[in-house]
């Protein structure tokens, strides 16, 4: 198990933002995966000056079933229909990042392409996101400071 501190998460997020900016790619929107990607997506949206949307995706029953919502929460009236180039963000991506990408592409015909970005990725095969900070082994459990385990630990320590 590896515990990520708030300071480390902020540093990793800024390192990822710098990597994305250095690519000189322009994005119509950032879509973040609900829960794990929310804070990272918010940081990148602010730093890159790109609107943020949210998609829900979740493992069910011990990572045997993966459910991906076909709808994206996005301010369509303000920014228009999702189109052009999209940056899909999560804190950790596995090959299932490609599954989320396919669902988004299928339901949003004006999107040209989707790049994947994360701070950590796990891969047993050839999966590799477009932007990342660290590749990790599949058996390492990463605990981010905003996850329930870390927050509950902080609450117990403050008593």
Q: Which pLDDT score is estimated for 109?
A: 93
* pLDDT for res 59: 64
Supply the DSSP symbol for 52: E
Comparing C-alpha atoms, which of 105, 91, 99, 98 is closest to residue 141? 91
Q: Across residues 82-88, what is the average pLDDT? A: 95
Average pLDDT over residues 22-46: 94
Express as a percent the part of the chain with pLDDT over 70. Answer: 87
Class of domain 2-157: alpha beta
Alpha-carbon distances of 132 from 12, 82, 107, 149, rounded to whole Å: 9, 24, 26, 24
Q: Helices 6-22 and 38-48 meet at what angle, rounded to 10?
A: 50
Asked whether the predicted pLDDT for residue 157 surpasses 80, the reply is no
Count Cβ atoms below 10 Å from residue 92 Cβ, excluding itself.
19
Comparing 77-81, 90-94, 120-124, which segment has the lowest mean pLDDT?
77-81
Residue 154: is its pLDDT beyond 60? Answer: no
Confidence tier at 73 by pLDDT (50, 70, 90): confident
């Amino acid at each position: 198990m590896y515990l990520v501190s708030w300071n480390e998460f902020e540093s990793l997020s800024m390192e990822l933002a710098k990597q994305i900016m250095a690519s000189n790619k322009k994005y119509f929107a950032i879509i973040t995966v609900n829960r794990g990607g929310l804070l990272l997506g918010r940081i990148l949206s602010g730093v890159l000056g790109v609107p943020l949307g949210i998609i829900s995706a979740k493992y069910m029953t011990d990572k045997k079933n993966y459910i991906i919502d076909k709808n994206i929460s996005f301010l369509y009236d303000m920014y228009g229909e999702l189109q052009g180039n999209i940056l899909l963000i999560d804190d950790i991506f596995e090959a299932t990042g490609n599954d989320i990408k396919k669902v988004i592409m299928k339901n949003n015909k004006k999107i040209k392409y989707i790049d994947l970005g994360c701070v950590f990725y796990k891969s047993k095969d050839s999966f590799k996101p477009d932007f990342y900070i660290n590749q990790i082994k599949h058996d390492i459990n990463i605990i981010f400071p905003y996850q329930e385990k870390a927050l509950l630990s902080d609450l117990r320590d403050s008593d």
